Amino acid sequence: MNLKKFIYAYKRDQTIGLINTFFGKIGIKYRLKNSIQKRILFLQKSLKDITKNVVQSGNYKEIQI
Which of 30, 38, 39, 36 has the alpha carbon at shortest distance from 12? 36
Model confidence band, residue 62 (pLDDT cutoffs 50, 70, 90): confident
How many angstroms separate the CA atoms of 24 and 32, rounded? 11
Collect all residues with Cβ–Cβ distance below 8 Å to 5 and sequence separation of at least 6. 21, 25
Rg (CA), the chain: 18
pTM more than 0.75: no
Domain boundary assignment for the chain: 1-32, 33-65
**Is it the case that residue 61 has pLDDT exceeding 90?**
no
At residue 57, the pLDDT reads 86
How many angstroms separate the CA atoms of 9 and 37, rounded? 15
User: Per-residue pLDDT tens for 34-51?
Assistant: 888 899 999 999 999 999
**pLDDT over 90, % of the chain:** 35
**17-29 average pLDDT score:** 91
